[in-house]
Amino acid sequence: MALKLYFHPLASFCHKALIALYENRIAFERIIVDLRDEASRAAFRAVWPMAKMPVLRDEARNRTVAESTIIIEFLDAHYPGPTRFLPADVDRAWQTRMWDRFYDHYVQEPMQKIVADRLRPEGKTDAYGVELAKAQLQQAYGVIEREMESKTWAIGDDFTLADCAAAPALFYANTVVPFAETHKNLAVYLDRLMVRPSFARVLEEAQPYFHLFPLERKPTIARLGRVANR
């Protein structure tokens, strides 16, 4: 098979790439990376020395593509389908990139910081860093709440790269710092993302691994149940 995806079914940045592959029904070989396993980690490092997932390998083009956003741009360019992840219109394109960056930097990264702190050795945790990450999530929730007052998807009517970024970021962020009771528009948006068939499939495949999530509160595919106002 021309395309290989190196990923883990629980990993949020991997979800982002999987959504794009499932949206356009692109065939690919799955290579599950287990970073706790020395052989798996070494094999992955040989493909991408930074050892950050996801990584896409296109054998037909002899290309190794790292970084979830770039993987989606690559798929959009070389394996286009009915869902276009980057709008052709230049203004809509920069808005898409801006919100993709927003979800990665201000939702995924603080969420990862909070989760990763639990995996640190005793005496090496960073309580102040976790406090700052929680505050940044709250700040981001406020921005998204206002933004999603009038939108269906992250930049308007069309599902784009920005929604691929938003889906796993909000899904795990809601597990770590729940927002269903405090941010209605945000909750409605997450519910909408969770019933999108591409992301619903990603979550279904991740479910058997949810018990490995290192916080007491585990992820759940139960919808938030907030009723859309439009």
Structure tokens at 97: 């990139």
Structure tokens, 18: 């999987």
CB-count burial class (<10 Å; 0-12, 13-18, 19+) for 147: middle
Ramachandran quadrant class, 67 (left: phi over 0; alpha: psi -120 to 50; beta: rest): left
Secondary structure (3-state) at 124: coil
Q: Which is nearer to ligand GSH, 67 or 73 (CB)?
A: 67
Here the tokens at position 156 are 């308007």
6 vs 141, beta carbon nearer ligand GSH: 6
Phi, psi of 81 (to 5 degrees): -145, -165
Q: What angle do CA 61, 49, 169 make, to 5 degrees?
A: 85
Q: Which residues bind ligand GSH (CB under 6 A)?
A: 11-14, 35, 52-54, 67-69
Q: Which class for 37: exposed (0-12), middle (13-18), buried (19 or more C-beta within 10 A)?
A: exposed
Closer to ligand GSH by Cβ: residue 68 or 96: 68
Q: Which is nearer to ligand GSH, 35 or 180 (CB)?
A: 35
55: alpha, beta or left? (left if phi > 0; alpha if psi -120 to 50):
beta
